[in-house]
Chain A
């Protein structure tokens, strides 16, 4: 394989990872922009997306695509419940107290999963894992599916936030909570919906990526650290920033692993973050200064 071909191959692979990063990061940045909290438990919704899909497909023999839908519905409801029970009661306190609760939620979900799941990392058996060649690129239908469905989802999300009433209310709350309350927006409901939406996006990412990578109870921990880097890189609260940041990071990481050294792969997110923040503290797409 020539190095150009390898390069194209890596971009395609990076795009797949980038889509899952973007889906996770968008939820995180939405929750930050609207609820004003750093949600440490966000990675756990991604983890649940992957692990619950495995249980449904490989243990209960459900259809893969039906499982994706079911998993997203289940995790969304969980997310909304968690917001209502654990986060809403102290959301008026300072950021640190809320952060602590999200630590607790994270620990709780990881360890419950660990008890049910055990320790062995697993891969979901997807019905579309066959390979095909597209010019120089060797790809699986699963990866193509991830890219296509990822983009469809991102377009739908954009429509949802920009055009629907709920989306408009979300943006109103992000801009001014008191103002939104005055014009009759039920801020508590918007908080809960946003949290559910964020959980849904992360769970979806977990469900579609799990046939290409191993999952266990701890994958959420690894993803959340990178997701933090991505959302700050894109500017906290910025959805386009999280989207671009996620996809770019996915591509840069795979290229670094292929052409420089795989050891550097996990460093890239944090090195880029440090450099960008020192040059432009509000992130690439941040609106307000820090």
Chain B
């Protein structure tokens, strides 16, 4: 029962839009869930192997383009698109990981940025395939078991299920030997290596896995908004999930998800104040990072007597 306990919140996630019955709210929630998946993916790199990736927008956008091209050009189903994402992102993620993980810290961060920019600029200029800056439109809503997910509610259900599966896999992974190796590497890489953990291997594994998850969130984005442009590989889609992971609490399972909800819902509902909303967003981000450098989930530890790891 203990292990099931942390899943009760997903029940809440399913119920909330049913209570509100508001299409606009539900569509904001879909976006939040898609970002939560992206943030969970980035958290594997930032929170569990302790490197900063500036390149996740590249994986997010590549995932979106992979499934869009498959469904638009070859007319394949959502499932084939998903499989395509797993294959393409697995390969691209592994190649980038093999090359970039020879570096560390800021060098690693900036080389991942370079890879993402190479992907973005290539997609931007490959007009015949990607239609350049105009992007791809008319990506179909997925059909699952003959059921077309064209309502906000049904797509929301799909997104939450993908989030749940991602959450479950990461949770299991972290409890496995592999997950323990990740954390050992994050805490003290030399020590981990000295007890026989092949840190390069585990880092490549974690990074490739993270790339696949980021690609899947991009795929969900493409099928929901039915449009994808090279901007989806732009730096904005890297900084936003980084903010979500950091402010939510990196290296925790719920932190990135909480961060994703805060930083998707907040700017949406600040729309009333017009141009000032991004300024307020920046101020809130600045204040939380100065006063809560370990993220929102660290509040729980601050106020609880029972200190856990």
Partner of A89, one of B46, B235, B247, B290: B290
B239 interface hit (Cβ, 8 Å): yes
Taking a contact as CB atoms under 8 Å apart, the answer to whether A90 and B235 are in contact is: no
A-B contacts, 25 of them at CB < 8 A, read A89-B290, A95-B52, A100-B289, A101-B286, A101-B289, A103-B239, A107-B279, A107-B281, A110-B278, A111-B276, A114-B275, A225-B117, A225-B235, A228-B110, A228-B113, A229-B113, A236-B106, A264-B125, A270-B118, A271-B118, A273-B110, A274-B99, A274-B114, A281-B102, A281-B103
Interface 0/1 of B104-123, CB less than 8 Å to A: 11110111011101100110
B262 interface hit (Cβ, 8 Å): no
Q: Which of A239-275 contact B (CB under 8 A)?
A: 263-264, 266-267, 269-271, 273-274
Q: In the complex, which residues of chain B have a beta carbon less than 8 angstroms from the beta carbon of A35?
A: none
In the complex, which residue of chain B has the Cβ closest to the Cβ of A278? B99
Taking a contact as CB atoms under 8 Å apart, the answer to whether B246 and A104 are in contact is: no
Q: In the complex, which residues of chain A have a beta carbon less than 8 angstroms from the beta carbon of B282?
A: 104-108, 111
Q: In the complex, which residues of chain A have a beta carbon less than 8 angstroms from the beta carbon of B103?
A: 277, 281, 290
Taking a contact as CB atoms under 8 Å apart, the answer to whether B289 and A263 are in contact is: no
A163 interface hit (Cβ, 8 Å): no
Give the distance in Å from the alpha carbon of A281 to the alpha carbon of B114 in the complex. 14
In angstroms, how far is the closest chain B Cβ from the Cβ of A71? 22
Give the distance in Å from the alpha carbon of A110 to the alpha carbon of B275 in the complex. 11
Candidate in A228, A229, A271 with the most chain B CB atoms within 10 angstroms: A228
Q: A38-B110, A90-B289 are in contact. List 4 more A-B contacts (CB 8 A).
A: A103-B239, A232-B106, A266-B117, A290-B105
Taking a contact as CB atoms under 8 Å apart, the answer to whether A267 and B121 are in contact is: yes
Q: In the complex, which residues of chain B have a beta carbon less than 8 angstroms from the beta carbon of A281?
A: 102-103, 107
In angstroms, how far is the closest chain A Cβ from the Cβ of B108? 8
Taking a contact as CB atoms under 8 Å apart, the answer to whether B289 and A270 are in contact is: no
Taking a contact as CB atoms under 8 Å apart, the answer to whether B286 and A104 are in contact is: yes
Q: How many chain A residues have a CB neighbour from B under 8 Å?
A: 45
Give the distance in Å from the alpha carbon of A106 to the alpha carbon of B115 in the complex. 22
Give the distance in Å from the alpha carbon of A156 to the alpha carbon of B252 in the complex. 49
Taking a contact as CB atoms under 8 Å apart, the answer to whether B243 and A229 are in contact is: no
A178 interface hit (Cβ, 8 Å): no
A-binding residues in B (CB < 8 A): 46, 52, 99, 102-107, 109-111, 113-115, 117-118, 121-122, 124-125, 235, 239, 242-243, 246-247, 250, 275-276, 278-279, 281-283, 285-286, 289-290, 293
B-binding residues in A (CB < 8 A): 32, 38, 40, 86, 89-90, 93-97, 99-101, 103-108, 110-112, 114-115, 221, 225, 228-229, 232, 236, 263-264, 266-267, 269-271, 273-274, 277-278, 281, 283, 290
Q: In the complex, which residues of chain B have a beta carbon less than 8 angstroms from the beta carbon of A89?
A: 290
Taking a contact as CB atoms under 8 Å apart, the answer to whether B278 and A96 are in contact is: no
Known: A225-B117, A281-B107. A101 touches B290 (CB 8 A): yes
In the complex, which residue of chain B has the Cβ closest to the Cβ of A236? B106
Give the distance in Å from the alpha carbon of A20 to the alpha carbon of B109 in the complex. 24
Q: In the complex, which residues of chain B have a beta carbon less than 8 angstroms from the beta carbon of A108?
A: 279, 282-283, 286
Q: In the complex, which residues of chain B have a beta carbon less than 8 angstroms from the beta carbon of A104?
A: 282-283, 285-286, 289
Q: In the complex, which residues of chain A have a beta carbon less than 8 angstroms from the beta carbon of B279?
A: 107-108, 111-112, 115
Partner of A115, one of B107, B243, B276, B286: B276
In angstroms, how far is the closest chain B Cβ from the Cβ of A119? 11
Q: In the complex, which residues of chain A have a beta carbon less than 8 angstroms from the beta carbon of B114?
A: 229, 269-271, 273-274
In angstroms, how far is the closest chain B Cβ from the Cβ of A272? 9
In angstroms, how far is the closest chain A Cβ from the Cβ of B89? 19
Q: In the complex, which residues of chain A have a beta carbon less than 8 angstroms from the beta carbon of B242?
A: 99-100, 103
In angstroms, how far is the closest chain A Cβ from the Cβ of B235? 6
Which 10 pairs from chain A and chain B are nearest by CB? A104-B286, A108-B282, A107-B282, A270-B114, A263-B125, A111-B278, A97-B293, A100-B289, A104-B285, A270-B117
Give the distance in Å from the alpha carbon of A38 to the alpha carbon of B110 in the complex. 10
In the complex, which residue of chain A has the Cβ closest to the Cβ of B47? A96
Candidate in A228, A232, A270, A271 with the most chain B CB atoms within 10 angstroms: A270
Candidate in B105, B111, B242, B283 with the most chain A CB atoms within 10 angstroms: B111
Q: In the complex, which residues of chain B have a beta carbon less than 8 angstroms from the beta carbon of A221?
A: 235
Give the distance in Å from the alpha carbon of A107 to the alpha carbon of B105 in the complex. 23
Q: In the complex, which residues of chain B have a beta carbon less than 8 angstroms from the beta carbon of A266?
A: 117, 121
Give the distance in Å from the alpha carbon of A98 to the alpha carbon of B125 in the complex. 35
Partner of B275, one of A103, A111, A267, A274: A111
Partner of B104, one of A94, A110, A290: A290
Q: In the complex, which residues of chain B have a beta carbon less than 8 angstroms from the beta carbon of A267?
A: 117-118, 121-122
Give the distance in Å from the alpha carbon of A104 to the alpha carbon of B114 in the complex. 22
Q: In the complex, which residues of chain A have a beta carbon less than 8 angstroms from the beta carbon of B275?
A: 111, 114-115
Known: A96-B52, A236-B107, A267-B121. A105 touches B286 (CB 8 A): yes
In angstroms, how far is the closest chain B Cβ from the Cβ of A280? 11
